[in-house]
Amino acid sequence: MTNKGFLVGFLIIGLLIPVFLIGMLINDRADRKTETFKAVSSKWASGQTITGPMLIIPYTDGGARKLAYFLPESLVIKGNAQTLVPYESIYRIAVYEGDFQISGNFNPLPLGAVNIPEANLDVSKATLCMGLGDIRGLEDPIELTWDGQNLAAGAGLPLNDVLDTGMSVALPMNPGDAGKSHPFSIHMHLRGSDQLYFVPLGKSTQVSLQSDWQTPNFGGDFPPVSKTVTNKGFGATWKVSYLNRNIPQAWTEKRYNLKDAAFGVSLYALTDLYTATNRCVKYAILIIGLTFSLYFFMEVFQEKRVHAVQYVLVGLALCIFYTLLLSISEYLGFKAAYAIAAGATILLIALYTASVFGQRSAGWTFGTALTVLYSFMYVLVELEDHALLFGSIGLFFILALVMFYSRRVDWYKGSAKRKVQTIAI
């Protein structure tokens, strides 16, 4: 029994080689999905970050021409993003498109905060600018209203010192308008992929977003003040004050990284099928070790010799489970694939065990044990944050069960027989 125990342990370690290769296969498939996603994004549009709008006005300072930046007093953004699958493949890359209504108000400009005399401002060259993550996502003309006037906004920025890409429009401002309030509204249809973020440039900023995406991942500097997530999608609302960000309402020379204050949502599955399958592979040593241990104890209790080749065949069946899980999940999703792959593996090994031991009861016992093990592994994969706690507790009880039943084994039985035979000779 000692020699057999060492042999079983050696086989368990040896089977980690195909498990390692399966892990490499999973990573390769995940990389291929990433490449496909990048290809789709390059044709559709990448992640969007809506920044602004902001008011940029040139002024003179000692004969030099400089720029002053002013942010709105209030900013309200309402968006509705719907997901699409424009690229049909086994990966089913999801992108989104949505309508966004942006409104707000610029109060009389705080010229005292930036030490600019009103006479030095060239309001005739004032420009309203708004940053976008990818201007390829603009499908229709942007509808912009400033002081009740409809203006034609165009893609592109007059300068890129604060915003990288976006849209801009020249404003019809006259001398004296710096001391007035200016309401504005912007409507646009925007496409994107992966994520949708916002930069809170208003002294008070409120963002409301609706989407049919079922697994949102909220991120950035500010969490939503309210959110609802159902099987039909999600809704979220953010409220941000200028006191919560490190950006003033007006400035001139200094540059600020506006995206540092961004917040929003990422539209992807929190745990995709490759991450979940990879986590299953990490439990392979547990499944193989417990399965071989159960086989070994059944061999001892029933006094039925099991050949090493038969152990290897069972181990290979356990390894093929992961390739079945990976391949099927790319078509049916992780949950359905796990049920199919686990069911097929359990049935195969249970029937083989009944044949090896010559008893149907052995097959039923082994099939039940494997069902418990695969159910336990699925729970660990789904728990994510609490996997370590429940995994440790589960392993403790499994070890206690093995120790309890191993008390009935006479580990010196074989040695005692050989000793008696030697004395008799």
pLDDT for residue 408 is more than 70: no
Residue 399 or 273, more confident:
273
Least confident stretch, 21-25, 133-137, 327-331, 401-405: 401-405
pLDDT at res. 209: 94
DSSP one-letter string for 153-190: -EES-S--SS-SSEEEEE----TTGGGS-EEEEEEEEE
Lowest mean pLDDT among 51-55, 284-288, 294-298, 358-362: 294-298
In this model, does residue 418 exceed pLDDT 60? no
What pLDDT score was predicted for residue 416? 40
Stretch 23-51: mean pLDDT, rounded? Answer: 81
Residues 6+ apart with CB under 8 A from 140: 188, 189
Residue 187: exposed, middle, or buried by beta-carbon count in 10 A (0-12, 13-18, 19+)? middle
More confident residue, 43 or 174: 174
| 42 secondary structure, DSSP code | H
Q: Average pLDDT over the chain, rounded to whole?
A: 83
Q: Which domains does the chain have, with CATH numbers?
A: 2-29+274-415 (no CATH), 46-269 (2.60.40)
Cβ-count burial 58-74 (b if 16+ within 10 Å, e if not): bbeeeeeeebbbbbbbe
Neighbouring-strand partners of residue 127: 56, 170
pLDDT recorded at residue 89? 60
SS3 label, residue 300: helix
Cβ of 406: how many Cβ atoms within 10 Å? 12
The structure's pTM equals: 0.72
Is residue 330 within 8 Å of 90, Cβ to Cβ? yes
Can you say whether the dihedral through the CA atoms of 347, 351, 353, 359 is positive or negative?
positive
**Where residue 265 falls among pLDDT bands split at 50, 70, 90?**
very high
**Would you say residue 421 has pLDDT above 60?**
no
Q: Kindly indicate the confidence band of residue 185, based on its pLDDT and cuts at 50, 70 and 90.
A: very high
Over residues 291-313, the mean pLDDT reads: 79
Per-residue model confidence (pLDDT) at position 417: 44
Q: Which residue(s) pair with 193 in the sheet?
A: 95
| 9: number of Cβ within 10 Å | 14
